[in-house]
Amino acid sequence: MTAGREQPESLIIRPPSEWRSMLVRLTRGCHWNRCRFCGIYPALGEPTFSARTVPEVKRDIDMLRARVSRATTAFLGDSDPLQIGLDEFIEIVRYLRGTFPEITRLTCYARASTLWKAKERGIRRLAEAGLNRVHIGLESGDPTTLKFHRKGQTPEIVAATGQWLREASIEVSFYVLLGMGGRDRWKPHIDNTVRIIENVDPEFVRIRRIWLYGSEDSEHSPQCPLWEDIRSGAFIAQTAEGTVLELRRLIDKLEEVDTFLTCDHANNYVCVDGHMPHDRLAMLEVIDRFLSLPEAARQAHYEAVGSSI
C-alpha cells in the first residue's frame, strides 16, 4: 500500500487546536467505530481500521524531516493510535522526539478505554517517552447516556485514566458533546459530566455539539447513525436552544476546577472561552446576553450557524 509512496500518509481528522502541528499517521480509521453519534471515519471514506507498521511510520517521519525545517508541535492519529500497540507507540514517539528534538508538544487522540488497558504504568511510560497531551472524547459523564451511545467507556474509566495522565504530567484535553443526552437526559448528562471534570480537573475542556450529518431521509449520502434512533423514537434530539442551556448549566456548575474551557469548534451556537473559575461569570454573561435576544433573532442565529465538522 505504501510502496513507492513519496508523501507521508495523511490523517483524516485532527483537533482544531492542532492546526499548526505536524501530523503523523499511526493507524487508519477507528478501531471501535460503534458510537451512535459518530460514524465519522466511514462517512469520510475510511470504513475499516488498520494499524500501520513501525517502519512505515518511521519512514514518514524521515520524509517529514526532509520537508519540515522546524516543527514545534506534532499530533499522532487517527482516532486511537495507541491501537498500534503500547510498545510500538512508544518506539514511534521516541523516534519522533529524536528526529525532531525541537518539538515541545506531542499529542494524540486516545480512547479512555484504551488508556485504561495501558494501566498507570503504561501511561507513565508514555510520559517518559515524550507524549505530553492527550485529547479524549469524554462526551458525557452520564453512564446511561454513554451506554446508549455505545461509547464503550464508563465514567469511572474516564476518571481513573484522566487522573493517571495528570499524575504522569500528561495534559488532558476533554471533549464534551452538547446534545448527547437528547431532550430527555440533558440535565443528568450535564450534571454527571461536571462530576467527571471536577474529578479529573483537566487542563482543557473543549465543547462540541452533536453533528447530525446527512439529512433525515437521505439515502445516498453518509448519514449519522443516530438518525436511525431518532426515526425509531429511541432518541429525541435536543433543540438548538437546549444545547445553549446545556452549555450554560455546565459552566454554571463548574466552580471548582482550574481548567481552560473553550468552544473551539464552528458548530457551537454560542462560543465562549476562558479560564475556570476566573472567567466563569463573564462566560455566563455572554450566554445570558444571547438568551435575552428576541426569539426571532435567536432562531435566525441557529439557522445561520448550521453544522459542520
Interacting residues toward ligand SF4 by CB under 6 A: 30, 32-35, 38, 40, 79, 111, 137
Longest dimension (CA), the chain: 60
Cβ closer to ligand SF4: 111 or 206? Answer: 111
Cβ closer to ligand SF4: 31 or 249? Answer: 31
Minimum distance from residue 309 beta carbon to ligand SF4 (Å): 12
Q: Report the sign of the C-alpha dihedral through residues 36, 120, 79, 106, in that order.
A: positive
Cβ closer to ligand SF4: 5 or 34? Answer: 34
Cβ closer to ligand SF4: 32 or 100? Answer: 32
Cβ closer to ligand SF4: 28 or 298? Answer: 28
Report the amino acid identity of residue 231.
R
Alpha-carbon distance 185 to 241, whole Å?
Answer: 15
Minimum distance from residue 38 beta carbon to ligand SF4 (Å): 3
Minimum distance from residue 178 beta carbon to ligand SF4 (Å): 15
Do residues 283 and 261 make contact, with C-beta atoms less than 8 angstroms apart?
A: yes
Alpha-carbon distance 114 to 31, whole Å?
Answer: 10
Minimum distance from residue 297 beta carbon to ligand SF4 (Å): 33
Cβ closer to ligand SF4: 50 or 72? Answer: 50
Minimum distance from residue 32 beta carbon to ligand SF4 (Å): 4
Alpha-carbon distance 171 to 105, whole Å?
Answer: 10
Cβ closer to ligand SF4: 32 or 269? Answer: 32
122: Cα within 13 Å, side-chain hemisphere? 13
Minimum distance from residue 243 beta carbon to ligand SF4 (Å): 18
Give, rounded to a whole angstrom, the gap between the first and last alpha carbons of the chain.
28
Alpha-carbon distance 57 to 32, whole Å?
Answer: 22
294-307 residues labelled b (16+ CB within 10 A) or e (exposed) = eeeebeeeeeebee
Minimum distance from residue 106 beta carbon to ligand SF4 (Å): 20
Do residues 76 and 108 make contact, with C-beta atoms less than 8 angstroms apart?
A: yes
Provide the grid cell at 19.
492546526
Dihedral, CA of residue 71, residue 51, residue 16 and residue 308, to nearest 10:
150
Assign residue 290 a region (left: φ > 0; alpha: ψ between -120 and 50; beta: otherwise). Answer: alpha
Minimum distance from residue 279 beta carbon to ligand SF4 (Å): 28
Cβ closer to ligand SF4: 89 or 100? Answer: 89
